[in-house]
Amino acid sequence: MRRLLVLVLSAMLVTSGVAVAGEQVIGGERASIEANPWVVYLTDDHGVQFCGGTVVAPTKVLTAAHCALGRAPGDLRVVAGREDKLDRDSGMSVALADIWIHKQYVAADEGEDLAVLTLRKPLPYTPLPIAEPADRALYQPGTQLRALGWGRTSENGKTSRYLMQAVLPVLPDTYCAESYPQFVKTDMFCAGYETGKIDTCQGDSGGPIVADGKLVGVTSWGEGCARRGKPGVYVRISRYAKDLHPVVDALPTGVVEP
């Protein structure tokens, strides 16, 4: 039987009403929303944070397909500009106009784990550019990436109140394939440390992995959190740039101007 993919499971359990999200990026540190204005989090219709996302256009947020699958636009809200989830006076909570899920998505560990959320009104925050096919150097083993989110700080912890970040080096595709037989190197990459200890976790799904001022990955799946030999697996954004641009760059409909 396929081993449990906890990042995917976290989104599923929130839907069923089981409390699962988590504290924060494991082994990370506090991050500033001012320095990372494009990072957002998603809440369900009860206001519970369960996934992350990235502003890639004024009315577009890129997240993981498994965070949005089976949900209607009215089931979700995007919270932007808020570093502390309890600080309701900062940032803004925005309703959705539409949800796009990659047409080939089946399961996170099979690839295509991407969704684009179209917002009902533009966000006043600078979008983050996505990695393009020419950005091959950003995926070379050893490249230092930054992961951000409000997910767990331990495998069985609680969700973080604050935005967190951690530095994760890209690992060789051969190592990723040895760790996960279902790993697809053309569609994914893995990052972290062979010894574990620093990783993304439940509640971080859909959130950004950045390098050189670009969105290079989306937190997707993995086995456990920060386990030895089980690094986090991320969507290889450059592989999907041609699929994303028509959606991200499209003029939105049903959007209310501020």
The residues carrying an active-site annotation are 66, 113, 205
Integer Cα distance of 248 and 113 in angstroms? 16
Report the chain's terminal Cα–Cα distance, integer Å.
50
Cβ-contact 2, 8 below 8 angstroms: no
Among candidates 148, 133, 143, 138, which has minimal Cα distance to 54? Answer: 148
Among candidates 128, 123, 127, which has minimal Cα distance to 258? Answer: 123
Pairing label, strands 115-119, 188-191? unpaired
Pairing label, strands 214-221, 208-211? antiparallel
Angstrom distances, CA of residue 95 to CA of 40, 132, 228, 254, 258:
13, 29, 39, 11, 13
Contacts of 68 by beta carbon, 8 Å cutoff, 6+ apart: 76, 99, 101, 115, 117
DSSP string for 105-145? -S-GGGS---EEEEESS--SSPPPPBP-TT-GGGGSTT-EE
Integer Cα distance of 23 and 199 in angstroms? 12
**Structure token digits, residue 101:** 């899920």
Output the CA torsion 125→164→234→90 (10° steps). Answer: -30
